[in-house]
């Protein structure tokens, strides 16, 4: 088989990994699995698309940056989209999740996130219809880089962006006060509160970080594949599988888990066929749950 699946897998894996960071943070700090996370992805992407169209309408046609398929409008729009997605997450937390958390039934919050996910996705379908759209219809020529691998400039840029973001989040989690507070809260909530950690602040940062990264992952899917209301929902199982494979609460784990699942999916597409792709994450998930439920970098729950 050709080694092309490695590049394809790394790209899919980057999208899964960026999304899984949000899943793993919500799970370890807010203690529930957020089924609406995929829909943050889709909402962020549509928001970015809307801003790109708005810029296009105001400034006319903007030439893309040299070899890439997109220009500065997409970068500006991405930042706006990230902010929008973060606000959406905060709003949803305020009207729904925080109130249910206060009632103290963790699993009810999961159910609410399932309901919210359904409503958010259908709202997108209502506003934009289920027809797929694209950021750009330009076709990029893939460059051969040896070993039978081909890669487009967009793909290189997005892989670099992922690496930068992951490094940034890692530094934020390990080198800053808020990052350490987040870790403290996920490891021992009661103790964290006793030493005076601002819980509400940590919760806010968790949502902002997770939602903003979900938006980036969604835009990546939008650039490389297509934009659909179901784009995020379809990523949900791979993201959960990546977060659990990496170990709940571990950011390097979530990214590594995402890459493993991405490469496994790409390999399966080449060997078995694209139609079975979605089963890969389920098989990996079941294997992890049977063999090592705490995942690669997880810590045993206290």
Partner 1 sequence: MIDLIGYGAFFLTTALIFSLVTLGLNLQWGLTGLFNVGLAGFVAIGAYTSALLTTPDDAARLGGFGLPILVGWLGAMIVGGIAAALTGMATLRLRSDYLAITTFGVAVVVQLVALNAQKLTGGPFGIGFIPRPFGRLAETPLLFNLSNLAVVCVVTLIVYLALEHLSRSPWGRVLKALREDERAAISLGKSARFYRVQAFAVGGAIMALAGALQAHFTGFIAPDNYLPILTFQVWVMLIVGGSGSDVGAVVGSVLVWAIWAGSGTLTSILFSPEQQARAASLQIVAIGVMLCVILLVRPNGLFGERPRRMRFGKRAKATASESGS
The closest alpha carbon to 14, from 257, 264, 230, belongs to 257
Residues 176-215 that bind partner 1 (CB under 8 A): 185, 189-190, 193, 199-200, 202-203
Options 63, 103, 146, 300; binder of partner 1; rule CB under 8 A: 103
- CA–CA dist 48, 80 (Å, integer): 7
27 scored as a contact of partner 1 (CB under 8 A): yes
Residues in contact with partner 1, counted by CB under 8 A, come to a total of 60
The closest alpha carbon to 81, from 52, 122, 110, belongs to 52
- Tokens representing residue 211 in the block: 């939602």
- The DSSP bridge pattern shows strands 150-151 and 143-144 to be antiparallel
Q: How far is the CB of 189 from partner 1 (least distance, A)?
A: 4
| Residue closer to partner 1, measured from CB, 120 or 151 | 120
Options 129, 174, 176, 226; binder of partner 1; rule CB under 8 A: 129
Q: How far is the CB of 299 from partner 1 (least distance, A)?
A: 13
Q: How far is the CB of 254 from partner 1 (least distance, A)?
A: 14
| Residue closer to partner 1, measured from CB, 54 or 279 | 279
Q: How far is CA 267 from CA 4, 10, 134, 145, 201, in A?
A: 9, 11, 26, 19, 42
- CA–CA dist 282, 237 (Å, integer): 7
138 scored as a contact of partner 1 (CB under 8 A): no
Each as own residue / partner, the long-range contacts of residues 285-289 (CB below 8 Å, 24 or more positions apart, any chain) are 285/237, 285/240, 285/241, 285/244, 285/245, 288/241, 288/244, 288/245, 289/244
299 scored as a contact of partner 1 (CB under 8 A): no
99 scored as a contact of partner 1 (CB under 8 A): yes
Options 76, 96, 156, 296; binder of partner 1; rule CB under 8 A: 96
Q: How far is the CB of 10 from partner 1 (least distance, A)?
A: 23
Options 32, 40, 43, 135; binder of partner 1; rule CB under 8 A: 32
Please state, as a whole number, how many other Cβ atoms lie within 10 Å of the Cβ of residue 80. Answer: 18
65 scored as a contact of partner 1 (CB under 8 A): no
- For residues 22, 44, 222, 18, the Cα torsion angle rounded to the nearest 10 degrees is -10
Across the strands, what pairs with 133? Answer: 227
What spatial distance separates the first Cα and last Cα of the chain, rounded to whole Å?
Answer: 45
- The contacts of residue 36 (CB under 8 Å, 6+ apart) are 92, 113, 114, 116, 117, 120
108 scored as a contact of partner 1 (CB under 8 A): yes
| Residue closer to partner 1, measured from CB, 80 or 116 | 116
- x/- binding map, residues 253-282, to partner 1, per CB under 8 A? ----------------------xx-xx-xx
* Chain positions contacting partner 1, by CB under 8 A: 27, 30-33, 35, 96, 98-108, 110-112, 114-120, 122-123, 125-126, 129-130, 185, 189-190, 193, 199-200, 202-203, 233, 236-237, 240-241, 244, 275-276, 278-279, 281-282, 285-286, 289-290, 293, 301
């Amino acid at each position: 088989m050709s080694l092309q699946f490695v590049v394809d897998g790394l790209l899919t894996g980057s999208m899964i990994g960026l999304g899984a960071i949000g899943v793993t943070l919500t799970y370890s700090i807010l203690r529930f699995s957020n089924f609406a996370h995929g829909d943050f992805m889709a909402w962020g992407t549509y928001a970015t698309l809307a801003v790109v169209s708005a810029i296009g309408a105001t400034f006319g046609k903007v030439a893309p940056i040299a070899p890439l398929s997109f220009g500065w409008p997409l970068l500006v729009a991405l930042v706006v989209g990230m902010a929008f997605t973060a606000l959406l997450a905060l709003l949803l937390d305020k009207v729904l999740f925080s109130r249910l958390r206060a009632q103290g039934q963790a699993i009810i919050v999961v159910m609410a996130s399932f309901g919210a996910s359904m409503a958010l996705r259908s709202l997108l379908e209502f506003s934009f219809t289920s027809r797929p759209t694209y950021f750009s219809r330009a076709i990029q020529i893939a460059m051969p880089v040896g070993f039978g691998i081909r890669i487009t400039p967009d793909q290189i840029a997005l892989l670099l962006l992922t690496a930068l973001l992951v490094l940034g989040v890692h530094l934020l989690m390990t080198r800053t006060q808020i990052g350490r507070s987040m870790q403290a809260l996920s490891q021992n909530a009661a103790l964290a509160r006793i030493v005076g950690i601002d819980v509400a602040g940590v919760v806010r940062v968790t949502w902002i970080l997770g939602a903003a990264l979900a938006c980036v992952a969604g835009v990546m899917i939008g650039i490389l594949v297509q934009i659909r209301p179901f784009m995020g929902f379809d990523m949900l199982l791979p993201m959960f599988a990546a977060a659990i494979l990496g170990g709940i609460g571990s950011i390097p784990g979530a990214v590594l888990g995402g890459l493993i699942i991405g490469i496994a999916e790409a390999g399966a597409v080449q060997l078995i066929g694209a139609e079975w792709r979605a089963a890969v994450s389920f098989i990996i998930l079941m294997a992890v749950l049977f063999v090592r439920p705490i995942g690669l970098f997880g810590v045993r729950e206290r």
